[in-house]
Amino acid sequence: MNSIVIHNGTIITMNSALDIIENGMVCIKNDELVKIDSLESDSPIPEAETIIDAKGGIIMPGLVNSHTHLPMSIFRGLADDLPLSVWLNEHMFAAESKYIAPESVRIGTLLSCAEMLLAGTTTCCDGYFYEDHAAAAMNETGMRAILAQGVIDFPAPGVPDPKGNIDNAEAFIQKWQNISPLITPSIFCHSPYTCSEATLKKAKDLANTEAVLFQIHAAETKDEYVRIQTGHQTTPIGYLDRIGIIDKNTLLVHAVWLDDNDINTIAARGAGVSHNPESNMKLASGIAPVPSLLKAGVTVGLGTDGCASNNNLDLISEMDTAAKLHKVNALDPTLMDAASILKLATIQGARTLGLEAVIGSLEIGKKADVIIIDAHKPHLVPVYNPVSHMVYAAQGSDVRDVIVNGRLLVQNRKLLTIDIEDIMEKVIKLSKTIKK
């Protein structure tokens, strides 16, 4: 028997044909999608332990947020409208050194998971400190995640001596390799200007040995570009490529300051890019050349970045911003159409994480990460094109139900695996100390 059957909705499959199925039905058996089809209203609904009526809404794959710093939700709105260097060095690093600890990482992660689930994100790709505690919290929620211990050549929360940063990351990877099918460990080097060449190479070696994703913020700001040019006589991407960092298991986050050579390098190596337009806009880092990256064949995912630089984890509003930003930047309204944008947030995002065979579309045999959108709201009426609606009209709060790996995590906007009242109370209490 089916575990879950969802019926009475329009399915956006995000399969390679981008099929849309009216009067759609999705059958889930345990953690897997076993049937995706239309069901006429007079046909019987297949038997299932749980039957979910989408009530004419949209049924689609869960969204994939390819770049987060989950615990930073505790700093949401702490410092805004500042240059990245001031924001990072004077505010974030200072706040982190003082307030990032196992418990704040735990509650910040759970707050972020709650926010993401309630806005339709079922998978995220994270990098932070005390990531072991982030992973433990994530493991409670039932969400899917790639989680990385951060590596930086300064004293960091939980890693007072940077000499231990790679060992620390190694221990994290080894611990989390087999704990849950939903959690995949990874390693995150902060950037080419905060990690030495030796650190970057050691971290990449570790990623290769353990066969995990290597993540790095790269070519984010003009300042970084100038620093790397001065220190290494090449671009950030040129430098990272020269030292062997860029390959198909690398996720380059931001990738704003790229020249044509850089784009060709990224394409040739098969690396993925996480595009974070709202963070890049808010910190005035620049506009990543996503249309050119896509044209060159690079796989691009969409990310929100951490809460402190966005200030939300809402991938639905990120889609809207991404679509509009690239159109106005190129003065071409046909660029980055709604379907291209929805791909970034689903199947392409999954591909940047090496999960394209598992998630990112509704196809038989894939894991059941499914969201249902309540379209019976004034701002979603009428529906001419459900894909356009998801990008240009929907809000995070339109997500009604969320299933990850066949398990219902949000039902009628109620979180089933997170005690959100308890978490909000704890974060508010901590924020009062931070505010002082």
Binding to its own copies (CB under 8 A) within 319-358 occurs at: 320-321, 323-325, 327-328, 330-335, 337-338
User: What one-letter code names the amino acid at 130?
Assistant: Y
Under the criterion CB under 8 A, does residue 381 sit at the interface with its own copies? yes
Alpha-carbon distance 60 to 64, whole Å?
Answer: 12
Return the range that interacts with its own copies (CB under 8 A); candidates 123-131, 137-145, 276-284, 348-356. 276-284
Which of 132, 170, 262, 314 is in the footprint of its own copies by CB under 8 A? 314
Return the range that interacts with its own copies (CB under 8 A); candidates 183-191, 263-271, 318-326, 349-357. 318-326
| Distance in Å, CB of 210 to its own copies, minimum | 33
Map the footprint of its own copies across residues 111-130, applying CB under 8 A. Answer: 111, 114-115, 118-119
Q: Tell me whether residue 4 or residue 219 sits nearer to its own copies (CB atom).
A: 219
Which of 36, 294, 313, 371 is in the footprint of its own copies by CB under 8 A? 313
CB neighbour list of residue 315: distance below 8 Å, 6 or more residues apart = 63, 64, 65, 116, 119, 120, 121, 302, 304, 345, 396
Under the criterion CB under 8 A, does residue 411 sit at the interface with its own copies? no
Map the footprint of its own copies across residues 208-267, applying CB under 8 A. Answer: 222
Alpha-carbon distance 389 to 377, whole Å?
Answer: 12
Alpha-carbon distance 401 to 424, whole Å?
Answer: 21
Q: Tell me whether residue 260 or residue 419 sits nearer to its own copies (CB atom).
A: 419
Burial of 125 by CB count in 10 Å (0-12 exposed, 13-18 middle, 19+ buried)? buried
| Distance in Å, CB of 221 to its own copies, minimum | 9
| Distance in Å, CB of 14 to its own copies, minimum | 18
Under the criterion CB under 8 A, does residue 76 sit at the interface with its own copies? yes
Alpha-carbon distance 316 to 326, whole Å?
Answer: 16
Alpha-carbon distance 303 to 205, whole Å?
Answer: 26
Q: Tell me whether residue 115 or residue 241 sits nearer to its own copies (CB atom).
A: 115
Are residues 336 and 291 in contact, defined by beta-carbon separation less than 8 angstroms? yes
Alpha-carbon distance 386 to 391, whole Å?
Answer: 9
Map the footprint of its own copies across residues 281-300, applying CB under 8 A. Answer: 281-287
DSSP secondary structure, 272-331, as one string: EEEE-HHHHHHTT-----HHHHHHTT-EEEE----GGGTS---HHHHHHHHHHHHHHHHT
| Distance in Å, CB of 422 to its own copies, minimum | 12
- Residue 239 structure tokens: 């430098």
- Residue 229 structure tokens: 């040019």
Return the range that interacts with its own copies (CB under 8 A); candidates 60-68, 184-192, 305-313, 352-360. 305-313
Q: Tell me whether residue 245 or residue 288 sits nearer to its own copies (CB atom).
A: 288
Return the range that interacts with its own copies (CB under 8 A); candidates 41-49, 70-78, 122-130, 225-233. 70-78
Before 310, cis peptide (omega within 30)?
A: no
| Distance in Å, CB of 279 to its own copies, minimum | 9
Which of 140, 312, 356, 363 is in the footprint of its own copies by CB under 8 A? 312
165-176 and 197-210 helices, crossing angle to 10°: 20
Which of 11, 14, 74, 290 is in the footprint of its own copies by CB under 8 A? 74
| DSSP E strand stretches across 20-109 | 20-29, 32-38, 48-61, 63-68
Under the criterion CB under 8 A, does residue 35 sit at the interface with its own copies? no
